[in-house]
Chains A and B, each alone.
Chain A
């Protein structure tokens, strides 16, 4: 069978996320519990987590999480890293042997910072430099796959049910201020570890439930801006779009949501002039970045968490709040299991973003 990257694979899913806006760090136990509730929304072919604030001791270094199929490719790849980065620390990512999780690749973690000379020669900003290095590894080193590349954050994913994946990676031993989780129900993949979600680039990590119908329009557009959609998954292209709009074009998160889940023209026509003109501009300027078809996404990044539904709200997504905590999940039960008492619970409308900014420094 063809795996991710060789064929487009749609999937149904479960997502869950939680964030403490005060920046307080908490352990990964709750996110495992939450995603476990939605066991039936996955089929054992993929699960994963993104965790923010977990590497405070290395917070100024890019944490590269990498799958290797063989030691040989690991050596080649490390040579590449050596040429481009100063590697501060490298290690296998700690895992727990479990009968539910099999066929694991070599899973390594590198804390790196770009070599100053290389960075200067490239005439790129640091993050772009890192992103390009990630693309090179993922497209040119067969059997190597960088699946996490942000600072002070990490993605942990595998083939299996998400709760098993969480135990496998010993997620309960990490502490962070935000976690997202994904349980996958792909419809035609043999299951490849790299194809599990979240999908991440730099500090952007996206979990997504849905199947976007605009995929190839989005893909072909974003590829023009230097991105390579190696996986052909929705989550990948959505991550790149968010990265492109946020990091490269400087749009704010509300503006990004007005691009990818743009209000309908008929809605825009009824708005006050200033707002209307802005939205009209965004729709024309970033027309290829409009995403249609069902999706509910959680976008984690260094500044916080954004949740967004497609503009018709074709996928379920519920938000709950309690104190400094915000919980977002495909089902309310997945929130109640860890926070039975909530100050408020609601289902955001289609295209209406829920944005939580974290107060750093706490």
Chain B
């Protein structure tokens, strides 16, 4: 066996008093952590295989299982942490780039947690959403500068194509391939029921889901997988993916083992071939090239669909956003560095990009300063974890948010961050039929609908508390925000005052 360089991170603890040897854990673990020894009538586990996805913990009918940090440690060192050391050993072993999944788990500031909301007291009344109308409806798209009237003085609807949403939340891009058919179906059905949109991601659109077109954003990424005229025309909007918060500057990579059957057909690439999206779009090396693609896509779709340009939040995001706002795009989506991914190089995930809160605040202000905020709507993503995050994002200036990780968590994701291994025990980030069937879209879509309904209720409660009864009066309403524990520079970028001021 040689040298065992890395001790397991987690330990599966089985309470023998509670275990009834039902073997559910054994049957449910695709990583084969659990095993029943019939000759001893007892369950055993191999901690080294455990990814801490909690499938066994969640399904154990007697709560006989828990997973804890193994506690094994190198000699404590604030510089060389256990994680750093283990990663180094792993690379010395394999010579490879470290791969991870989901969003950045490192200890960077979470600005949403340093922003507090306002509420009405005395001088104006808070509004009870259970008794008064409370509007969460949002329209995304560009607004023209001027109204036009016909010869009778009636206003002409000169609005460019819009996306109408029941609430300012959408499901962000997650490709068919990186997640399962059932996960896609759950998202599509939930979006339809909720009156919001989901996003195909860069893997094309399975023919079964064309029926959800009115609730679908079809994505065009650098690999152009699954992109054709019918696809572009099938959705309610088109998104050009320039970047992703979890991996700014690089493209996607779906291993050939996941390119099977319908996925290969949907992506229009041969079975078993790796789906590698180039880092840049090779027809977009500058902003004017982007403008051409925007207009190409508008032409293909008869100027009936808004075009979204999605970028990762990087250092000069304001200037990039300004360019996009003048490119003919209708909507800018900005993905913060905590955004998720089905597979991303660890170093990039953990070191590239900036927090979405800062990117949003500066982009919103920059576009206003330039007088072009009406040219585009702004969608932000990159770890929107609760309705409070939504409210804060909207008050900072977002028109809408994207949720990816939160949506997957509603479907069962436990953030084990091993999507790239393809053995998702929750049936989400896998294509193995035995695993994908674990996600029943009847349940999945219901849980998504529940989550969004809960958030909508909470958003309305918070709005009502502020005396606001329509989401547009919250948008960019930064006086409703106060910082806590932030320095002057941070407050300046966020455009908010400190609590107590």
Q: Are the C-beta atoms of A211 and B468 separated by less than 8 Å?
A: no
Judged by a CB distance under 8 angstroms, whether A249 is at the interface is: yes
B476 contact from A11, A217, A255, A282, Cβ within 8 A:
A217
Judged by a CB distance under 8 angstroms, whether B453 is at the interface is: no
Within 8 A of B (CB), among A11-45: 11-12
Q: Which residue of B lies closest to A263 (CB)?
A: B133
Q: Which residue of B lies closest to A12 (CB)?
A: B123
Judged by a CB distance under 8 angstroms, whether A253 is at the interface is: no
Judged by a CB distance under 8 angstroms, whether A291 is at the interface is: yes
Judged by a CB distance under 8 angstroms, whether A210 is at the interface is: yes
Task: Tell which of B57-65, B155-163, B413-421, B433-441 binds the partner.
Answer: B155-163
Q: Which residue of A lies closest to B473 (CB)?
A: A214
Q: Are the C-beta atoms of B478 and A277 separated by less than 8 Å?
A: no
**Binding site of B, secondary structure by majority: helix, strand, loop or mixed?**
loop
CA gap between A356 and B478 in the complex, in Å:
36
Q: Are the C-beta atoms of A216 and B467 separated by less than 8 Å?
A: no
Given contacts A220-B397, A293-B468, 18 further A-B contacts (CB under 8 A): A213-B468, A213-B480, A215-B479, A217-B472, A217-B476, A217-B477, A220-B476, A255-B155, A282-B155, A284-B143, A285-B143, A285-B147, A287-B143, A287-B472, A288-B476, A290-B473, A291-B473, A293-B124
User: Residues 306-325 of chain A: 1 if any B CB is under 8 Å from the residue's CB, otherwise 0?
Assistant: 00000110100000000000
Judged by a CB distance under 8 angstroms, whether A265 is at the interface is: yes
- B-to-A contact residues, CB < 8 Å: 120, 123-125, 127, 132-133, 135, 137, 139, 143-144, 146-147, 149, 154-155, 157, 159, 162, 368, 371, 373-374, 397, 466-470, 472-480
Query: What's the least CB distance linking B420 to chain A, in Å?
Result: 41
Query: What's the least CB distance linking A330 to chain B, in Å?
Result: 15
Within 8 A of B (CB), among A184-226: 187, 210-218, 220-221, 223-225
A223 contact from B133, B139, B368, B474, Cβ within 8 A:
B368
Q: Are the C-beta atoms of B476 and A216 separated by less than 8 Å?
A: yes
Q: Are the C-beta atoms of B368 and A211 separated by less than 8 Å?
A: no
Q: Are the C-beta atoms of A217 and B371 separated by less than 8 Å?
A: no
- A-to-B contact residues, CB < 8 Å: 8, 10-12, 187, 210-218, 220-221, 223-225, 249-251, 255, 262, 264-266, 277-278, 281-285, 287-288, 290-294, 311-312, 314
Q: Are the C-beta atoms of B147 and A215 separated by less than 8 Å?
A: no
B478 contact from A216, A293, A311, Cβ within 8 A:
A216
CA gap between A324 and B469 in the complex, in Å:
37
B373 contact from A187, A224, A277, A291, Cβ within 8 A:
A224
Q: Are the C-beta atoms of A278 and B155 separated by less than 8 Å?
A: yes
Known: A224-B371, A293-B467. A288 touches B472 (CB 8 A): yes
Chain A neighbourhood of B374, CB < 8 A: 224
Q: Are the C-beta atoms of B479 and A287 separated by less than 8 Å?
A: no
Known: A12-B123, A211-B123. A284 touches B139 (CB 8 A): yes
Chain A neighbourhood of B476, CB < 8 A: 216-217, 220-221, 288
Q: Which residue of B lies closest to A232 (CB)?
A: B479
Q: Which residue of A lies closest to B166 (CB)?
A: A265
Q: Are the C-beta atoms of B368 and A220 separated by less than 8 Å?
A: yes
Q: Which residue of B lies closest to A7 (CB)?
A: B501
11 A-B residue contacts at CB 8 Å? Answer: A12-B123, A211-B123, A211-B124, A213-B468, A217-B473, A217-B474, A225-B371, A251-B147, A285-B144, A292-B468, A292-B470
Q: Are the C-beta atoms of B159 and A281 separated by less than 8 Å?
A: yes
Q: Which 7 A-B pairs have the closest CB atoms?
A: A214-B473, A213-B467, A216-B479, A217-B477, A211-B124, A287-B472, A292-B473
A213 contact from B124, B132, B478, Cβ within 8 A:
B124
CA gap between A214 and B467 in the complex, in Å:
8
CA gap between A213 and B465 in the complex, in Å:
10
Q: Are the C-beta atoms of B123 and A290 separated by less than 8 Å?
A: no
Query: What's the least CB distance linking B145 to chain A, in Å?
Result: 9
Q: Are the C-beta atoms of A281 and B368 separated by less than 8 Å?
A: no
Chain A neighbourhood of B477, CB < 8 A: 213-217, 220
Chain B neighbourhood of A220, CB < 8 A: 368, 397, 476-478
Looking at B159, B162, B397, B473, the one whose CB has the most chain A CB atoms below 10 A away is: B473
Chain A neighbourhood of B132, CB < 8 A: 312
Chain A neighbourhood of B480, CB < 8 A: 213, 216
Query: What's the least CB distance linking A290 to chain B, in Å?
Result: 5
Chain B neighbourhood of A290, CB < 8 A: 470, 472-473
